Chain A
């Protein structure tokens, strides 16, 4: 990709060690005791770029590693491998104090506005804190002005600044949560399922707000969601994840009109459609395997009807399969699908 990427994710890996204390790690196998670690392979060598001003959505089912990817990009988790570049600068190995400079440029909005706002802080405190912390150049009056301005922008009456989160509805809270992310004037926002906890009529309000803000401020979004109709609506490109691996990446219209990877095809066919009677979808056999013991080869081979010996043994790489789509699938590459 020739255009300069705002965020470049390169072979990013995140594992979690959940083996517990050394006593928990002792397992009896093959007639002797052994110490074994239990590792969750949440994100496995994921690479893609996010360009300035675009919205890239990461979709996938629960447990596919999309939230872990988002948090690792934000450096809320340190990665176990690979790199994250911000305008060409590596940020995954920065110290927390060096990272502070980037915190004003990248912010995050979380899923549950009931959990992500501190119930003991008033809206004013919630919004002032990041400004105090990251933008020391502002005077007290300047900060107050800024808070009022941001509250207006997200559609919360500034007169309510001394109220506490419990006094607001879910949609209002998510507005405050967006305001908190905007308070330090970032250019990149990671939104992890920002509307999943909200009702349909409120979802539309928040999505409109996010699209308006993108236009006004030139924001770049990484949008994490499992709601494919929302993803189709707001994103420019879509990345589909399965079991910690990126299986397809393309422009939104391309993904929805001609999905190439067998998993993407199954996922899209299963979306409930308004006005469609009964069910016509591609059934997947079995369940999602555990990320503790990843399948060999392609992570999807156990559930894929096109899988052959190569899929069982060799991990497919994400590569261009035609001018429009990147996919990680041997069958697509060999022209079997």
Chain B
């Protein structure tokens, strides 16, 4: 890979949950990096570990989960080793997070203005008046009309799409270097989804912010991101340039996932399906995690977990059968 100005570098991240029944590994040796201003899509089905990875970057995995090993290097520090106090200065300041449901993220009993100003005052030594100025500026940036009036309103006075715009405005307050967006448009309608994604894309470009977009929707990822990492059962199975993976997927799982989409089959035709379901973290098979559903599975796949390594096509993939 060409030398890039690396912003975030995740290496061998393992996140596990200590339960009474034993230890569940939700994220298993995940490694990827992100250049300054780069947009990465983390895709996979529910339970693949993509959200946990996103939470892990912000050290937000709640008990009984914890980062059991690996490093998350960001702006010269390892986030996995920081204390809660140090982490608070990074979270919502240098790295912001956008969640799926804007109604759950906004405090219903505080006005938008209060929530924005409080966030700023927590991170920056500025006056209340300056903080209000910044808040107004960010509200304008997310194309909300009459910002002065909107600052004094409560979340319930906004529609779903508007609320997600507010959440983005809050994420932008401290001019972060990285935004982690976990299914930011899943709860929204397509017409509003397009508005929000376009906004997010143009802001990332104009502010030179890095973006990690976590989603199950391959089409969304292909429109917004430059690189993709496909996750399956807690591991990254394939990663590379977005166009390359969409047009020429290598790993059998990625191929199956793309083939299962109706747009790739003539109307009324039989859809290609991947048999079975993704194993839960407690039942991940030995060897390649995909071996129970893979039509190409061989002896070596049942015994040895394939490493994520460069393949001929130019991507990284974790599969024994690819060269």
Judge whether A26 is part of the interface by a CB distance below 8 angstroms: no
Annotate A236-263 by CB proximity to B: 1 below 8 A, 0 otherwise.
0000000000000000110000000000
In the complex, identify which listed stretch (A14-22, A32-40, A137-145, A204-212) lies at the interface while the others stay far away.
A204-212
Give the number of chain A interface residues (Cβ < 8 Å).
41
Q: Does A51 contact B (CB under 8 A)?
A: no
Among the listed B46, B220, B264, B272, which residue makes an inter-chain contact with A272, where contact means beta carbons less than 8 Å apart? B220
**Contact A287 B256, CB 8 Å, known A199-B216, A204-B272:** no
Whether A284 is near chain B, meaning CB under 8 Å from some CB there, is yes
A207 contacts B267, C-beta separation under 8 Å: no
Residues of A within 8 A of B243 (CB): 275, 277
A121 to B223, CA, bound (A): 44
How many Å lie between the Cα of A208 and that of B270 in the bound state?
Answer: 6
Q: Decide if A171 is an interface residue (CB 8 Å cutoff).
A: yes
Most buried by B among A199, A208, A284: A199
Chain B residue numbers with a CB within 8 Å of A274 are 218-219, 222, 246, 258, 261, 263-264
> B1: CB under 8 A from chain A?
no
B223 CB contacts on chain A under 8 angstroms: 272-273, 276-279
> Would you list which residues of chain B between 270 and 288 have a CB under 8 Å from chain A?
270-274, 277-278
**CB 8 Å contact bits of B293-317 with A (1 = contact, 0 = none):** 0000000000000000000000000
B46 and A278 contacting across the interface, CB-CB below 8 Å: no
Is B274's CB under 8 angstroms from A229's CB? no
Q: Which residue of A lies closest to B199 (CB)?
A: A279
Residue of A nearest to B253 (CB): A201
Q: Are B262 and A229 in contact (CB under 8 A)?
A: yes
A71 within 8 A of B: no
For the complex formed, measure the closest distance between the CB of A65 and the CB atoms of chain B, giving whole angstroms: 14
**Bound complex: CA A287 to CA B192 (Å):** 9
A152 within 8 A of partner (CB): no
Query: Could you tell me which residues of chain A, from 288 to 316, have a CB within 8 Å of some CB in chain B?
Result: 288
Residues of B close to A181: CB separation below 8 A: none
Flag if B190 contacts A228 (CB, 8 Å). yes
B residues in contact with A273, CB < 8 Å: 219, 222-223, 263
In angstroms, Cα B270 to Cα A272, docked, is 22
Which residues of B have CB within 8 Å of A281?
194
Q: Is the CB of B218 within 8 A of A270?
A: no
Do the beta carbons of A207 and B261 come within 8 Å of each other?
Answer: no
Residues of the B chain whose Cβ atoms lie less than 8 Å from the Cβ of A205: 273
Q: Is B45 an interface residue (CB 8 A)?
A: yes
Q: Which residue of B45, B190, B247, B265 contacts A201 across the interface (Cβ within 8 Å)?
A: B45
Bitwise interface map of A from 160 to 186 toward B, beta carbon under 8 Å scored 1, else 0: 000000000101100000000000000
Contact A201 B260, CB 8 Å, known A267-B190, A274-B218, A276-B223: yes
B-to-A contact residues, CB < 8 Å: 45-46, 159, 161-162, 189-191, 193-195, 197-198, 201, 216-220, 222-223, 243, 246-247, 256-258, 260-265, 267-274, 277-278
